[in-house]
Chain A
Amino acid sequence: MSANLQQSTITTAQAQRRPFLGMRHQRLAQRVMVYALLLALSVLFILPFMWMVSTSLKNSEDVFTYPPSFFPTTFLWQNYPRGWTILPFNTFLVNSLIVTFANVIGNLISCSLVAFGFARLRARGRGILFLALLATLMIPREVTIVPRFLLFSQMGLVNTLWPLILPAWFGYAFFIFLLRQFFMTIPTELDDAARIDGASSLRIFFEIILPLSKPALATVAIFAFIGNWSNLLDPLIYIRSQELYTLALGLNLFRGQNFTQFNLLMAVSIITLIPVLTVFFLSQRLFVQGVTLTGMGGR
Chain B
Amino acid sequence: MGGGFDRLSPRPSRWTRQAGASTGSALVHPTTVQVRFGHCENGHDHDFTVAGGCMAIQQQIEQPAARPMGKPKLGKLARREEREFYLFISLWIIGFILFDAGPILASFVISFTNWSMMTPPNWTGLQNYQRLIADPLFYTAMWNSLYFGIGSVGFGLIISFLLALLLNQKVLGISVFRTIFYLPSVVSGIAVAILWIMILHQDFGLINTVLSWFGIKGPGWLVQPQWAKPALILMSLWGAGGSMVIYLAGLQSVPQHLYEAASIDGAGPWMKFWNVTVPMMSPVIFYNLIVGFIASLQGFVLVLIMTNGGPANATLMFGLYIYRVAFQFFQMGYASALAWILLVVIMVITALQFLGAKYWVFYEGETVR
Q: Which residue numbers of A lie inside 8 Å of B, CB to CB?
A: 31, 34-35, 37-38, 41-42, 45-49, 51-52, 55, 63-68, 70, 110, 113-114, 116-118, 121-134, 136, 138-151, 153, 167, 169-171, 176-177, 181-182, 184-185, 187-188, 201, 205, 215, 226, 229-233, 236-237, 248, 251-252, 255, 262, 265-266, 269-270, 272-273, 276-277, 280, 284-289, 291-299
Contact = CB atoms under 8 A, between A and B. Distances in A.
B104 A297 contact: no
Contact of A144 (B33, B104, B238): B104
B172 to A, nearest CB: 9
A223 to B, nearest CB: 10
A230 B188 contact: yes
Interface in B100-146: 100, 102-104, 106-107, 110, 117
Contacts of B28: 122, 126-127
Contacts of B180: 42, 45-46
Contact of B92 (A125, A133, A187): A133
B287 interface: yes
A288 B15 contact: no
Contacts of B206: 47-48, 51, 68
Interface in B284-309: 284, 287, 291, 294-295, 297-298, 301, 304-305
B361 interface: no
A266 B195 contact: yes
B82 A143 contact: no
A144 B99 contact: yes
B91 A169 contact: yes
Chain B contact residues: helix, strand, loop or mixed:
helix
B96 A136 contact: yes
Contact of A146 (B46, B188, B332): B332
Which of B166, B190, B203, B343 has most chain A Cβ within 10 Å?
B190
Contacts of B181: 41-42, 45
Contacts of B183: 45, 49, 277, 280
Contacts of A117: 84-89
Given A51-B198, A121-B85, A181-B39, A139 B179 contact: no
A146 B241 contact: no
Given A148-B99, A170-B98, A280-B186, A184 B26 contact: yes
Interface of B: 14-15, 17, 21, 26, 28-29, 31-35, 37-43, 46, 48, 50, 53-54, 57, 60, 65, 72, 78, 81-82, 84-89, 91-96, 98-100, 102-104, 106-107, 110, 117, 163, 166-167, 169, 171, 175, 177-191, 194-196, 198-199, 203-206, 209, 212, 238, 241-243, 245-246, 249, 284, 287, 291, 294-295, 297-298, 301, 304-305, 318-319, 322-323, 326-327, 332, 335-336, 338-340, 342-343, 346-347, 350
A149 B318 CA distance: 19
Given A45-B241, A142-B322, 17 more contacts: A46-B180, A116-B88, A117-B85, A121-B88, A123-B86, A138-B350, A139-B104, A140-B346, A142-B319, A143-B104, A144-B99, A146-B107, A146-B336, A147-B336, A181-B39, A205-B88, A292-B40
Contacts of B42: 215, 289
Nearest to B291: A296
Nearest to B176: A42
B110 A34 contact: no
A153 B84 CA distance: 34
Which of A127, A201, A229, A237 has most chain B Cβ within 10 Å?
A127
Contacts of A153: 117
Contact of A122 (B78, B175, B318): B78
A47 B205 CA distance: 12
A298 B81 CA distance: 32
Contact of B243 (A64, A145, A297): A297
A292 B43 CA distance: 9
Chain A contact residues: helix, strand, loop or mixed:
helix
A296 to B, nearest CB: 6
Given A121-B88, A145-B326, A255-B194, A127 B32 contact: yes
Contact of A170 (B95, B189, B212): B95
B169 A48 contact: no
Which of B42, B191, B195, B343 has most chain A Cβ within 10 Å?
B191
Contacts of A45: 180-181, 183-184, 238, 241
Given A122-B82, A144-B107, A248-B189, A176 B297 contact: no
B6 to A, nearest CB: 16
B89 A114 contact: yes
B32 A124 contact: yes
A142 B29 contact: no
Contacts of A277: 183, 186-187
B32 A292 contact: no
A91 B86 CA distance: 41
A191 B10 CA distance: 26
Given A46-B180, A185-B39, A273 B191 contact: yes
B326 to A, nearest CB: 5
Which of A67, A139, A236, A255 has most chain B Cβ within 10 Å?
A139
A206 to B, nearest CB: 12
Contacts of B94: 170
25 contacts: A37-B166, A46-B180, A48-B199, A67-B212, A114-B88, A117-B86, A122-B14, A122-B15, A122-B29, A124-B82, A126-B28, A138-B346, A143-B107, A143-B340, A149-B326, A231-B189, A232-B189, A248-B189, A248-B190, A266-B194, A269-B195, A291-B245, A295-B53, A295-B54, A299-B188
Given A131-B33, A147-B102, A276-B187, A140 B171 contact: no
